[in-house]
Structure 1
Amino acid sequence: MTTVARFISFCIPLAFAFNSLSAHAFKQVTHKRIVQDAVAYMQANPNTTEFAKLQRLANNAGLRVNELGNLLGQGAYDVDDFADTFICGAITGDCVQAPLWGMAESIVKYTSYWHFQNHTQGIDEHGNDFGGYNYSQLTVKGDVDNLASSWLYNDHLDDGRGGKTGWFGAEDSEYRTYQVTEGNYRQGSYSNYNMYQDFQNMPFQPLDNLGQYWYSEFWSQPTVQSLGFVLHTTDLLQPHHTWTTSALNHSGWEAWVADYYDSENLNDFAKVNQALSSFSPIAANSQDIRPLLTQGGSFSYAQGGIVLYSQSHNDRVAVANQVVPHAIAMVVHILNHAMNRFDTI
């Protein structure tokens, strides 16, 4: 199979069970639109982007460019549906991937806890420059954070058969989350399982490490799916994910962005063009995209805090007109760099 053929193949090896549900991130449809708009921006600006390489890749696979954009966007969409994170009851040992009350509070799956980069704190106990979600380290939090911490108090991350159990050896392991998911997202940082034995103190790995893992997978064996997974990191332009809270108008803001994406022209290419200069492009000789991703997180943290406390339409428009074009611009930078993988094709 050629490199192009492998790249275009879009098999789904993971168990995605909740494709139609609201997830705890930018709405899935918003993730997809951001990627589609990034591809459209590249098409509209071929002289300042790597669009020619993107177009050649699509042509070689018998696809239109917008069809390739749809597939990449679907990868970004699907990350919220990963069935890769199970938390187990301290007493029962029963391991589940979502709380019973999750649908009402927009915590559909525990995999969402890997989708944060906490800019209210510095270096975490793993050694990351910015950590991920950790209830004990939250600077801002609200009802959903507190409810989760109470519901999951002393519950542990699934570490497979023969690992930590509930009382009297009760065990219902479903997935080696610590060994597989946390291991994948460790990305050069340090972990030990003691960190994941009590939910209220769990230092989840940050979102940039998730993005780096999938980018490394893409670079090793390029596929649309792995590159699409990388592009879910636009959550770093969602202020709740950098201020780090599951509450404080989190789901309401995300629903608003999805509802007003078109009517408020949040994907204005003129604003995307301006936003591109806010990022330092990834060096061509480097495969580490985390500095770029952290720039996106720093921007949303600096610009978007008001949407945690205000539901004013005008406040939301002001923030969205900053963070959405920057999310699209960040994807353009990633795609520009990713196309270097195909220089020899």
Structure 2
Amino acid sequence: MKKQLLTALLLLSTSQAQAFSQETHKRIVIDAVNYMQQHPSSTEFLALSRYAQQNNMTITQLADVLGQAAYDVDDFEDTFFCGAVTGSCVQAPVWGAAESIVKYTSYWHFQNHTQGADQHGNDFGGYNYQKLTVWGTVDNLASAWLKGDYLDDGKGGETGWFNADSSKYNSYGVTEANYRIDSDSTYSMYDDFEEMPFQPIDNLGQYWYQSYLQSGNPQVLGFVFHTTDLLQPHHTWTTSDLNHSSWESWVKDYYDQEKLNDTALITQAMQTFSALDINSQDVRPLLTQGGAFSYSQGGIVLNSKDHYDRLDTAKQVIPHAIAMVVHLLNHAMVARQ
């Protein structure tokens, strides 16, 4: 069975991708910093400049560090699934080895707006194959390929047959625990892939934002900005398929040609968001606003490859992604003063 799936997945490997491409994630952050520089009176650019100086950087260098960190989140080596029979634990599917395929860590990068609260108690859950309302072949094949596989729990006791286990990383005790903010989990939720209720990406963002407030580290702050995945419709409609990869490539290819980072559109998008309460350290309300916007505006790109359908969506979600980062930077600069 798995040999047949391997063949099918190799043929489909180019259709699975990591939402906005890593390059797009970086550009969004750099463009947010540039926007702040162009609008110092309506943003916290002066505080951002001081932050750059405190870290011995120019504003350009800081933008690059923040953007690179947003890029790097897709490369985290923090999520391993282990074979139901073999107990062999890996961080990516073998059928993705020849391509730039997301690692299993990307399953934490969703916020499912097609469903309500999840079994953890989050207002919106993350990726959960059982709860998908739109899906494609990649979702189905991944579920079949990983059927019964379990999330690496270190030496927690879950094994394959005959106690076989080659644990590489305690993904449940570290990664899931980090993203378990204000919610509850039991390991039984993660012992079969096809039933796993992954924590949503807003919890990922909140974890790294709290870490930034404690450390002041620019790289850690940059990790927060990977949450612009929330402006990628596939990550709020929630599917690994349905033109996921081709849409990602289209955005990267036309980012400059179609001026997706148009300043006037960013200014309009800034007004869409309700600014965060400066007395609160919880940035998830803003992140959920971004997710709600992409869910309401971007569903067509799941089913259409038409250039102008994509352009219409991109000219909404990219400026809103940039605006969301500006709002986060504004809050981050004031919160640590």
Short-chain TM bin: over 0.9
Distance 1:123 1:102 in 2: 32
Q: Is 1:210 matched with 2:165?
A: no
8 Å contact from structure 2 (residues 17, 244) kept in 1: no
8 Å contact from structure 1 (residues 105, 144) kept in 2: no
The equivalent residue for 1:272 is 266
8 Å contact from structure 1 (residues 85, 111) kept in 2: yes
Q: CA shift at 1:80, angstroms?
A: 0.2
Task: Give the TM-score normalised by structure 2.
Answer: 0.94
Residue type at the aligned position of 1:159: D
Q: CA shift at 1:278, angstroms?
A: 0.7
Distance 1:255 1:104, change over 3 A: farther
Q: CA shift at 1:25, angstroms?
A: 2.4
Q: Deviations over 1:42-97 (max 9, x none)?
A: 00000000001111222333322111100000110000000000000000000000
1:141 partner SS? coil
The equivalent residue for 1:39 is 33
Residue type at the aligned position of 2:271: S
Q: Is 1:53 matched with 2:47?
A: yes
Q: Deviations over 1:153-202 (max 9, x none)?
A: 01100001242000111111000000000000000101000000110000
1:120-199 to structure 2, matched below 5 A, reads 120-199=114-193
Q: Which stretches of structure 1, 4 residues or longer, exceed 6 Å deviation after superposition?
A: none
Distance 1:276 1:103 in 2: 40
1:22-33 to structure 2, matched below 5 A, reads 24-33=18-27
1:184-263 to structure 2, matched below 5 A, reads 184-263=178-257
Q: CA shift at 1:241, angstroms?
A: 0.1
For structure 1, which segment, 202-211 or 156-165, has the greater mean C-alpha deviation from structure 2 after superposition? 156-165
Aligned match of 1:299 in 289, 293, 308? 293
2:181 partner SS? coil
The equivalent residue for 1:324 is 318
8 Å contact from structure 2 (residues 17, 240) kept in 1: no
Residue type at the aligned position of 2:259: N
**Identical positions, percent:** 67
Distance 1:142 1:158 in 2: 26
Distance 1:105 1:206 in 2: 25
8 Å contact from structure 1 (residues 89, 166) kept in 2: yes
Residue type at the aligned position of 2:70: A
Distance 1:142 1:107 in 2: 16
8 Å contact from structure 1 (residues 114, 132) kept in 2: yes
Task: Give the TM-score normalised by structure 1.
Answer: 0.91
The equivalent residue for 2:92 is 98
Distance 1:61 1:157 in 2: 38
1:12-27 to structure 2, matched below 5 A, reads 24-27=18-21
Unaligned runs of 5+ in 2: 1-15
The equivalent residue for 2:65 is 71
Residue type at the aligned position of 1:115: H
1:101 partner SS? helix
Distance 1:215 1:23 in 2: 25
Q: CA shift at 1:341, angstroms?
A: 3.2
Residue type at the aligned position of 1:146: N
Distance 2:243 2:19 in 1: 12
Q: Is 1:119 matched with 2:119?
A: no
8 Å contact from structure 1 (residues 196, 203) kept in 2: yes
2:94 partner SS? coil
Q: CA shift at 1:23, angstroms?
A: 5.2
The equivalent residue for 2:5 is none
8 Å contact from structure 1 (residues 266, 324) kept in 2: yes
Distance 2:267 2:226 in 1: 21
8 Å contact from structure 2 (residues 149, 192) kept in 1: yes
